[in-house]
């Protein structure tokens, strides 16, 4: 059975000061953390064995996973090994065979993991990357280029074939067992694995994904992911059990987490109040953690 690894060891520097008190994969989107959204998609695709690597605020992961009631193995990286090194280090926990690798800051709720696994097993490509294809009329846009057979032929400014359209790599991929055997103990899955593979004439195939997805690596992207969750859930606002909202506060397109408090008077619009945090009205486009508050312009 294919297992999965969620890469969670990053420092989340672009999300500071929020990430100073909460690891990026544990940031809230709607009613649960990013990691919970990822685990739900993996489980829906038939994957039960999941490993994550943790470094920054590593202790937070075990408590969150326990709260979610999921069986996930947490590997603490004392030193960050990189995306390739992290998967290599996790080999004993992942076992043999293909593995799905998912960046811990990516949410793609409609991704069909079972079909991704089937496509990798049916392909002779050493890796299958989940790619959002762009219309050919857009030219060489996106983070990767694809040929007419759906192979990656452009990556980080290097070309390896005739490109017919661009695409965006989601940071989700299925790695073959034979490629896993060559992963370095330290290094990056793109710079130190994918690029050398393509340069040597190897093949990375694309798994087309045209659904909604979010990369929550910046505060603006995190806020947008939360607003999208509200829209797709058919909600104007969401208030968790145990949250307290003062009577003179008006909420609009906002999310208030478990045990959070919104006090004062006035409109709170497009705000995310993390579990256990406090926010004073009025406020707009604000992310509030227990010890940090970040207001966004625009």
Contact status, residue 237 vs residue 231, Cβ threshold 8 Å: no
pLDDT higher than threshold 60 for residue 137: no
- 105-131 residue pLDDT tens: 999 999 999 999 999 999 999 999 999
Kindly indicate the confidence band of residue 12, based on its pLDDT and cuts at 50, 70 and 90.
Answer: confident
CA distance 74 to 61: 7
Kindly indicate the confidence band of residue 285, based on its pLDDT and cuts at 50, 70 and 90.
Answer: very high
Three-state DSSP state, 168? strand
CA distance 197 to 184: 13
pLDDT higher than threshold 60 for residue 6: yes
pLDDT higher than threshold 60 for residue 138: no
Q: How many helices (H) and strands (E) does the chain have?
A: 8, 23
- 217-243 residue pLDDT tens: 999 999 999 999 999 999 999 999 999
Q: For a pLDDT cut of 70, what percent of the chain falls above it?
A: 96
pLDDT of residue 56: 84
Span of 4-8, 133-137, 193-197, 241-245 with lowest mean pLDDT:
133-137
- 147-174 residue pLDDT tens: 999 999 999 999 999 999 899 999 999 9
pLDDT of residue 135: 67
pLDDT higher than threshold 70 for residue 282: yes
Does residue 57 or residue 27 have the better pLDDT?
27
User: What residues contact 170, with CB distance under 8 A and at least 6 apart?
Assistant: 103, 106, 108, 111, 129, 130, 131, 132, 209, 213
pLDDT of residue 167: 94
pLDDT of residue 38: 95
Question: What is the C-alpha radius of gyration for the chain, rounded to an integer number of angstroms?
Answer: 20
């Amino acid at each position: 059975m294919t297992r999965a690894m969620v890469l969670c060891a990053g420092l989340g520097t672009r999300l500071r000061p929020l990430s100073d008190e909460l690891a990026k994969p544990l940031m809230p989107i709607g009613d649960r953390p990013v990691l919970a959204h990822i685990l739900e998609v993996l489980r829906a695709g038939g994957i039960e064995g999941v490993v994550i690597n943790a470094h920054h605020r590593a202790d937070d992961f075990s408590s969150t996973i326990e709260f979610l009631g999921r069986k996930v193995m947490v590997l603490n990286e004392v030193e960050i090994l990189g995306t390739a090194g992290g998967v290599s280090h996790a080999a004993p926990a992942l076992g043999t065979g293909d593995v799905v690798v998912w960046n811990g800051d990516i949410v793609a709720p409609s991704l069909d993991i079972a079909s991704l696994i089937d496509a990798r097993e049916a392909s002779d490509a050493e890796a299958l990357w989940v790619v959002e294809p762009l219309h050919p009329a857009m030219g060489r846009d996106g983070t990767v280029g694809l040929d007419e057979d759906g192979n990656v032929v452009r990556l980080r400014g290097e070309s390896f074939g005739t490109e017919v359209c661009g695409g965006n790599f989601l940071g989700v991929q299925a790695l073959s067992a034979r490629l896993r055997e060559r992963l370095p103990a330290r290094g990056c899955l793109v710079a130190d694995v994918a690029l050398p593979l393509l340069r040597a004439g190897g093949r990375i195939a694309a798994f087309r994904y045209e659904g909604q997805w979010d990369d929550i690596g910046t505060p603006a992207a995190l806020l947008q992911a939360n607003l999208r969750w509200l829209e797709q859930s058919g909600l104007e606002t969401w208030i968790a059990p145990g949250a307290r909202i003062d009577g003179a506060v008006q909420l609009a397109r906002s999310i208030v987490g478990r045990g959070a408090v919104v006090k004062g008077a006035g409109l709170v619009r497009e705000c995310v109040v993390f579990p256990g945090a406090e926010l004073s009205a009025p406020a707009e486009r604000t992310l509030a953690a227990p010890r940090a508050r970040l207001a966004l312009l625009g």
